[in-house]
Amino acid sequence: MAPMNWMILFIMFFLTFILTSNLIYFLYLKNLNMKINKIKMTKNYNKFI
């Protein structure tokens, strides 16, 4: 029983790590896209001027 419990614990920790890393990655990508969009908007604004 002990090895099974250790395996379950390891899988749970691994899944939580994957979920947190994915969340951080997607949040970072969203922030990058927002920054890129802001830069594009400023470029368009400068073109209009």
3-state SS, one letter per residue, for the chain = CHHHHHHHHHHHHHHHHHHHHHHHHHHHHHHHHHHHHHHHHHHHHHHHC
CA distance 34 to 40: 10
Q: What is the pLDDT of residue 15?
A: 95
d(CA 10, CA 4): 10
Instruction: Record the pTM.
Output: 0.51
* Residue-level pLDDT at 14: 94
Query: Which pLDDT score is estimated for 45?
Result: 66
Q: What pLDDT does residue 29 have?
A: 81
Q: State pLDDT tens for residues 1-49.
A: 678 888 999 999 999 999 999 988 888 887 777 777 777 776 766 666 6
Cα Rg, the chain, nearest whole Å: 21
What amino acid occupies position 30?
A: K
What is the structure's pLDDT at 19? 94
